[in-house]
């Protein structure tokens, strides 16, 4: 029974005895069509606004679709629908439907007004185009000032580094003379007066000689490190297979331990770089691998490479004593050694030189130890670069 009453009420909406609006216009064409066209264009414009809002939000992914925007879109659609019904009512008097739509539009309008009032403080704080332009100009000015400061600081650092390198080179060069004198007089004292010295005197003389030799080794390391900073590089295509083979043969020829050195090398890709500098990198890495494998019966070194889209990474692995990875950050600094002098001899300059050469070639160096030796890897760009990528 209730369902029938509901259906009757719905049908009653579409059955009424009102006159259409056209009759009120006396069906006069000018009046009738001016109202129809006006309502039609208005309805079309209303319907276009939500579509344009959807297009705008779709293009501007950074703008969040909030409830106010949705309420505004619904309000606009409701307004457009009311104007469509006004066109329908010119010929068909569905005034009840028009009334219902106007009530819906009124409710949406009130809700939109409330949400607009609620969001008014936030809307008021939206910066004006002039304020945005002023902020952009200020940011641009700050960026320009920052770039100038960076350039000045970079230039100052370069000058400071150049002065430090010159100072290191000069000091190291001047220190060679007294150290050589100590070594010379120690040798003469040992040769000419060894019989006059007691056992304790001989021990002290040997300590003097050993300390002078160590000092001379450090000075040579400083000189080599300083020369590297002053030297310009000349790039060419380098055959890394040839470079590694030449270096290991030189090390074998000069090796005093008489241990066999086994080099297991994959086919290595060529790379752009300064050949003399890269030869020094290879020499230092292979010498290090030999030095830290001194406790092995046979010295084994593996050399391989990986090629990516823009880079080539070379790996040099030994099976020696390895190192504690928590101190890895010190490995490539000057005079930083991860083992004491009694375990492995060295000046702590070799890997620092490797790092400096690779950085000079816009590459990077890394190391790892897995409990079964050490792997040093260095990465270089595949193409010739004039500045860092």
pLDDT digits (tens, 9 = 90+) for 119-158: 888 878 877 788 888 888 888 888 878 877 877 787 777 6
Tokens of 5: 């009453």
303-308 contact pairs (CB < 8 A, 24+): 303/244, 303/263, 303/264, 303/265, 303/266, 303/268, 304/265, 304/266, 304/268, 305/240, 305/266, 305/268, 305/269, 307/269, 307/382
The Cα–Cα gap between 116 and 122 comes to 10
CA angle, 231 as apex, 225 and 233 as ends, to 5°? 120
204-211 contact pairs (CB < 8 A, 24+): 208/182, 209/183
The Cα–Cα gap between 15 and 28 comes to 25
Q: Enumerate the CATH 1.10.287 domain ranges in the chain, comma separated.
A: 128-230
Q: How many CB atoms lie within 10 A of CB 86?
A: 19
Q: Which residues in the chain show pLDDT less than 70? A: 1-17, 65, 158-176, 214-232, 255-258, 324, 327-329, 333-348, 384-389
Tokens 């079309």 — which residue?
Answer: 44
CA angle, 127 as apex, 70 and 125 as ends, to 5°? 65
Q: Are 198 and 327 in contact (CB under 8 A)?
A: no
Tokens of 61: 């992914």
For 348: left if phi > 0, alpha if psi spans -120 to 50, otherwise beta; the answer is left
Three-state helix/strand/coil letters over 235-282: EEEECHHHHHHHHHHHHHHHCCCCCCEEEEECCCCCEEEEHHHHHHHH
**Averaged pLDDT score across all residues of the chain:** 79
Q: Which residue blocks in 329-379 are alpha helix, DSSP H?
A: 350-360
Tokens 């297991």 — which residue?
Answer: 264
The Cα–Cα gap between 9 and 97 comes to 12
pLDDT at 232: 67
The Cα–Cα gap between 80 and 101 comes to 10
- Domain 128-230 indexed as CATH 1.10.287: yes
Q: Return the bridge partners of 263, or none.
A: 301
Report the b/e string of 97-114 with b at 16+ CB within 10 A. Answer: bbeebbeebeebbeebee
Q: Enumerate the CATH 3.30.565.10 domain ranges in the chain, comma separated.
A: 233-389
CATH number among 3.10.129.10, 3.30.479.30, 3.30.565.10, 3.40.50.620, domain 233-389: 3.30.565.10
For 260: left if phi > 0, alpha if psi spans -120 to 50, otherwise beta; the answer is beta
pLDDT at 294: 75
Q: How many CB atoms lie within 10 A of CB 65?
A: 12
Report the b/e string of 343-355 with b at 16+ CB within 10 A. Answer: ebebbbbbbbbbb
CA angle, 167 as apex, 220 and 173 as ends, to 5°? 35
Measure Cα distances from 182 to 34, 58, 222 in Å.
Answer: 114, 81, 19
pLDDT at 227: 64
């Amino acid at each position: 029974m209730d369902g029938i009453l509901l259906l009757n009420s719905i049908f009653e909406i579409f059955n009424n005895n009102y006159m259409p609006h056209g009759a009120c216009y006396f069906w006069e064409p000018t009046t009738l069509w001016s109202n129809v066209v006006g309502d039609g264009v208005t309805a079309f414009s209303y319907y276009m606004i939500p579509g344009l809002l959807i297009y705008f939000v779709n293009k501007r992914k950074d703008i969040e679709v909030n409830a106010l925007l949705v309420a505004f879109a619904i309000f606009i659609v409701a307004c457009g629908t009311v104007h469509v019904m006004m066109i329908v009512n010119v010929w068909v008097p569905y005034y009840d439907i028009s009334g219902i739509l106007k009530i819906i539009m009124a409710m949406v309008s009130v809700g939109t007004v409330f949400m607009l009032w609620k969001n008014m403080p936030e809307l008021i704080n939206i910066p004006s185009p002039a304020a945005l332009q002023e902020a952009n100009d200020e940011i641009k000015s700050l960026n320009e000032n920052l770039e100038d400061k960076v350039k000045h600081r970079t230039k100052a650092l370069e000058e400071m580094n150049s002065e430090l390198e010159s100072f290191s080179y000069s000091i190291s060069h001047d220190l060679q003379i007294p150290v050589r004198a100590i070594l010379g007089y120690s040798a003469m004292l040992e040769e000419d007066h060894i019989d006059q010295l007691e056992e304790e005197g001989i021990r002290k003389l040997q300590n003097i000689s050993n300390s002078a030799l160590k000092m001379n080794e450090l000075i040579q390391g400083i000189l080599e490190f300083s020369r590297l900073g002053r030297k310009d590089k000349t790039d060419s295509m380098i055959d890394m297979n040839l470079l590694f083979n030449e270096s290991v043969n030189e090390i074998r020829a000069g090796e005093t331990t008489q241990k066999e050195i086994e080099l297991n090398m994959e086919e290595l890709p060529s790379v752009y770089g300064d050949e003399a500098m890269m030869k020094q990198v290879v020499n230092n890495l292979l010498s290090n691998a030999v030095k830290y494998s001194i406790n092995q019966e046979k010295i084994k070194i593996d050399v391989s490479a990986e090629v990516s889209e823009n880079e080539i990474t070379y790996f040099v692995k030994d099976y020696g004593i390895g190192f504690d990875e928590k101190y890895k950050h010190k490995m490539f600094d000057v005079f930083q050694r991860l083992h004491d002098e009694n375990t492995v001899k060295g000046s702590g300059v070799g890997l620092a030189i490797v790092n400096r050469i690779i950085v000079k070639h816009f590459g990077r160096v890394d190391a790892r130890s897995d409990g079964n030796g050490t792997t040093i890897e260095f990465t270089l760009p595949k193409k010739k670069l004039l500045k860092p990528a």
